Structure 1
Amino acid sequence: MLNNMKTMLGLVLVLAGLVYYLVNKDSSNGATGEGAWLLPQLQGDVTGELTALKISKGEEHLVMIKKGQQWYVEGGFYADTAPMMQLLQALRAAEKIEAKTSNPENFKQLGLGDDDLKVTLMAGEKVLAAVHLGKKATAPGASFARLGGKDQTWLVTAIDQVAFMSDDWTLKTLIDESAEQVVQVRIDNGSAAVIEINRDPISGTWSLASLPEDKQVKVDAPLLSMASGLASFTIETAMPVDLADKALKISADYQLTTGESIAVKVYQHAADYFVTMNLDKYKNWMFKIPSYKFDALNKSMSDFIEDKVESTATVETPDTQS
């Protein structure tokens, strides 16, 4: 009987030791975090759930919000989703390398204080993730991070620096239609003749309409450049439409292969230029553009044609005196 009790006690001690080992092993792995995701809750497809992305720094806040299927900078224009998706992918891919300080007095040294940069992802009222993103580490390919509300800091696989200016998150490319997607362009800058160019559906070559009989198209006429007016159409800033003190300078109309017509109107106020577009998503907005974009659209017929040159080639006759 005594031997049986000793055997049972021995088994209990062995099991207790095994449990202690496993608990401490798991705890140790959790502390170092090596190979663990910084934000495991982002490993599923959470893009569809996301309704807001907040970037805060001290008392300043920048918020991108989703309305329907569109993203906006809160209180402003459409948001550029490319840097948003890049940030989301970087957060999803970030792995813990090593646990660092958990002393709040040391957070500022790593750029991880409560008033340092913090990114928060929201799904409705639910916080999907909140994380402070700190300085780059001396170790290559690493930076510091701290989960919101937590004292433990981490060395993680590097997350690129996050911009905090609203302009960096605002949509800058309004439209991007190459010349191959355009079949007709009409430019009216108030001069005597409206310029119209058309693309041949078979050869793809561009030709100038209404060419006077005594004129010819210049060899270096900017037909393709004119047809590319909607390619990577970028802006400086967006603002609500207000044309009260602005003079219409150019009307540019583009007919696309899809049958859609895009009308771009260019206005001037002092030394500044603004455009409007007839697209539904931009109907309440006007956009400031750089002067070089105005120059690219401000074309007259004289830029395309010149006086016709008659052929002066002579025909040589045979020498009859041989």
Structure 2
Amino acid sequence: MTTGKTLLGLLIVAGGLVFYLMNQAPKDSGHDFLIAALSNNETGIKSLDRVLVTQGEQQFDMRESDSGWHLNGGFYVRVDSLFNWVQALKNARLIERKTANPAHFPALSLTEEDLRVRLYRGEQLLADVILGQTGSTPGARFVRYAEDTQSWLASGLNDLNSSKELWTLTMLFDVPDNQVQVIEWTAEDIVRLVKDDETGQWQFADPATDGFTPDQQAVGSLASALSGFRIQQALEAEQDLGQPQQVFVFGLTEGRSVTLALFGDKDSAILKVTDSDQPERYLNWQFTVPDYKLDTLMMSQSEALKKPSEDTEKGPNQLLSSDQTDTEG
């Protein structure tokens, strides 16, 4: 019983301390911008070359190059996440001055090991800010400049957090199937499928297909391959992967095309990607993809190209060949 009362007393004291820290100090801020170098620049993220976010042992070092923003010297950053962070920092304002006692920083998550962001333009450090706990004032968060012991309440920062999932680009494409107009599929044969503008049905671009017809459901699943297209891992490209097992060229509206080349079997599948809008973007990268996408991309042509007859002796690669004729019967 005594131990329980002691623990309860400690919790009450700790809670009271945090409440005191959150509400002490005069309200003398003039509502200045948190980062003047950003607020005075209309371009926001375009004015930066490097953003370094750290928290404990986690480090997310984002640097811009000619090909885009890269994370920790590797694959691309999720630019939407980076943009949201920079915009929030750009618009954040100081509300009121708080504690300047470093002994209080751990309780407010304002130590140098807590969430910290550094912004650079070239070699120049524009800002070094630690983002602490949310305050009792609605929409406010404790912050301090890393070089200063003075802490503040600031507005507009409560939604900022950091994680590997937040910063790592995994969704390469999110193209709805209604934007896919043509699929050129190279495997056993080269098959070109086009979507009828009026019916929305898939058909062969070459009518000489010996009675074969596209399986609408199977081809439809291929057309949906670029919708929510996420990768599992990005790896630096190997020089020689050999010949691809399958290649899909998706012709999209407005003339854009996306090519997916699949190498290896299911246990060791590697994907190469080309986007006509950004031909160099994925040139030096190869990817692994989730099983649900891999199953679609490993579909055989015999699954998607059906012959409406009882003749099952011949495969589609035989009957799709232009120099093959049916001599049975």
TM-score range, shorter chain: 0.7 to 0.9
Q: Is the 8 A contact 1:145 1:153 kept in 2?
A: yes
Shift of 1:211: 7.4
Is 1:239 the counterpart of 2:235 in the alignment?
Answer: yes
Larger radius of gyration: 1
- Which amino acid is the alignment partner of residue 96 of structure 1? L
Q: Where do 1:124-203 residues align within 5 Å?
A: 124-157=122-155, 158-165=157-164, 167-190=165-188, 194-200=190-196
- SS of 1:231's equivalent in the other structure is coil
Percent identity between the two aligned chains: 27
Q: Distance in 2 between matches of 1:59 and 1:307?
A: 61
Measured against aligned partners, the alpha-carbon deviations of 1:101-156 in whole angstroms (never above 9, x if no partner) come to 10011111111012222101111122222210112234443221111211111122
Q: Is the 8 A contact 1:246 1:269 kept in 2?
A: no
Measured against aligned partners, the alpha-carbon deviations of 1:233-274 in whole angstroms (never above 9, x if no partner) come to 221111111376888432212234454543211123662432
Q: Is the 8 A contact 1:71 1:78 kept in 2?
A: yes
- Which amino acid is the alignment partner of residue 202 of structure 2? W
Q: Where do 1:56-135 residues align within 5 Å?
A: 56-58=54-56, 60-68=58-66, 70-135=68-133
- Which amino acid is the alignment partner of residue 245 of structure 2? K
- Which amino acid is the alignment partner of residue 306 of structure 2? I
- SS of 2:269's equivalent in the other structure is strand
- Which amino acid is the alignment partner of residue 248 of structure 2? A
Name the residue aligned to 2:246.
250
Name the residue aligned to 1:282.
282
- SS of 1:53's equivalent in the other structure is strand
Q: Which runs of no fewer than 5 residues in structure 2 stay unpaired?
A: 1-24, 311-329
**1:244–1:270 CA distance, 2 compared to 1 (3 A):** farther
**1:280–1:58 CA distance, 2 compared to 1 (3 A):** same
- SS of 2:264's equivalent in the other structure is strand
- Which amino acid is the alignment partner of residue 298 of structure 2? N
Q: Is the 8 A contact 2:52 2:59 kept in 1?
A: yes
Q: Distance in 2 between matches of 1:88 and 1:156?
A: 15
Match of residue 36, structure 1, among 32, 38, 49: 32
Shift of 1:39: 2.4
- Which amino acid is the alignment partner of residue 301 of structure 1? S
After TM superposition, the score normalised by the length of structure 2 is 0.72
Name the residue aligned to 2:16.
none
Q: How many residues in Structure 1 have an aligned counterpart in Structure 2?
A: 277
Shift of 1:197: 1.4
Measured against aligned partners, the alpha-carbon deviations of 1:161-197 in whole angstroms (never above 9, x if no partner) come to 42143x531222223444444332123444xx55431
**1:99–1:261 CA distance, 2 compared to 1 (3 A):** closer
Q: Is the 8 A contact 2:67 2:281 kept in 1?
A: no
Q: Distance in 1 between matches of 2:242 and 2:28?
A: 62
**1:272–1:78 CA distance, 2 compared to 1 (3 A):** same
After TM superposition, the score normalised by the length of structure 1 is 0.74
Q: Is the 8 A contact 2:186 2:247 kept in 1?
A: yes
- SS of 1:48's equivalent in the other structure is helix
Q: Is the 8 A contact 1:248 1:265 kept in 2?
A: yes
Q: Distance in 2 between matches of 1:105 and 1:247?
A: 63
Measured against aligned partners, the alpha-carbon deviations of 1:51-95 in whole angstroms (never above 9, x if no partner) come to 100112356532111113621113101111100110011112222
Q: Which runs of no fewer than 5 residues in structure 1 stay unpaired?
A: 1-28, 310-322
Q: Is the 8 A contact 2:108 2:133 kept in 1?
A: yes
